Chains A and B, each alone.
Chain A
Amino acid sequence: MNAKLKVRDFTMHGTSGLSILHDKWVNWVIEHQNEKGFSPENNYGLGRISHHSWFVNNDKFEISNEQWIYSYVLPDATGFIGFEQNRWENDNCVLFDVYGKERTRLTVPWQLTRQLNPKSAKPPTSFNNISDPYINPENGKQGVFGVTAWVEYAGKYYFELDYHTGTFLWGTEIRD
């Protein structure tokens, strides 16, 4: 992997002609949510999402929304992390390179939970989303980057992830 390559301007495009950067979406909703005609029915003004685009250097890449997996740009912009949020399997999280090519498929590390039950590997155990970092209960230090997952028999967990290697480092239960 070339560390110099970075993703920029990750954008979603709607059939209304409107395009919005993924990382500006929340601001867009907050600013416009109470305007007339601004509703989930018209996807908050975007219409149907047709495709997503991003740049690597000056090259533009696109993927249709049909093919797209719900994704975020990694913190250092060296690729994406995606979640198949409607697939309740323990390998529904994928790391992509800057071009959107699958690099690693991750499996929920149920072995890092307190309730060690081999049945935990079965559905509905699955990843949820990225997460702000939690504190490692073992040493009191703040994590750097992680994901949340539902682990059957153990509950909802945060798992610290080294997204360069695809390695989970530790986990802590979330009581939210």
Chain B
Amino acid sequence: MVVDDIAFKTLTDPTGKANKGRAFGGWATFDEVPNKSYARNQLAITAEMKPNIGYVVEVEITKPINAKIGIVGPQDAVKGGGNQLHFFVTAADRSEVFRYITGSGKVLP
């Protein structure tokens, strides 16, 4: 899952005051995400959707949920072509479903 620095900070919060479930998005990919360019172009995460895409994290899905799996379609000027999952889980319910895999965070060059 591609996240910004605010979400990554929340996922790794040491204070116990952050709700980590709120940091997850509703989309993910099975693809290896090597850099921001791949995220912007192949995954079509446009700046309008997510202004900052600094990190990629691995996420465990802790209970069965519905998701739509397919090829990323074009968005505006980018052509897509990567693979995506779209989870049918509202933002308010994501804390019950997703878990950040510790140590998986990578900075996207």
Instruction: Give the complex CA separation of A12 and B12 in angstroms.
Output: 14
Report which of A46, A131, A133, A150 forms a contact with B91, defined as CB distance below 8 A: A150
The B contact surface, by secondary structure, is: loop
Q: Are A68 and B102 in contact (CB under 8 A)?
A: no
The A contact surface, by secondary structure, is: loop
Interface positions, chain A 61-92, Cβ under 8 Å from B, are 65, 68-70, 85-86, 88
Report which of A26, A43, A46 forms a contact with B8, defined as CB distance below 8 A: A26
Instruction: Give the complex CA separation of A135 and B49 in angstroms.
Output: 9
Stretch among B16-24, B34-42, B63-71 lining the A interface: B16-24
* Contact A65 to B15, CB < 8 A, known contacts A85-B22, A129-B22: yes
Q: Are B48 and A33 in contact (CB under 8 A)?
A: no
- Classify chain A's interface size: 35 or more
Q: Are B48 and A68 in contact (CB under 8 A)?
A: no
Q: Are B8 and A40 in contact (CB under 8 A)?
A: no
Instruction: Give the complex CA separation of A147 and B13 in angstroms.
Output: 18
Report which of A132, A150, A175, A176 forms a contact with B92, defined as CB distance below 8 A: A150
Q: Are A26 and B19 in contact (CB under 8 A)?
A: no
Q: Are A176 and B27 in contact (CB under 8 A)?
A: yes
Interface positions, chain B 50-109, Cβ under 8 Å from A, are 50-52, 55, 90-92, 102-103, 105-107
* Contact A26 to B103, CB < 8 A, known contacts A132-B51, A134-B48, A135-B47: no
Interface residues of A (CB under 8 A from B): 12, 14, 25-26, 29-30, 33-34, 39-40, 43-44, 46, 49, 65, 68-70, 85-86, 88, 124, 128-135, 150, 152, 155-156, 174-176
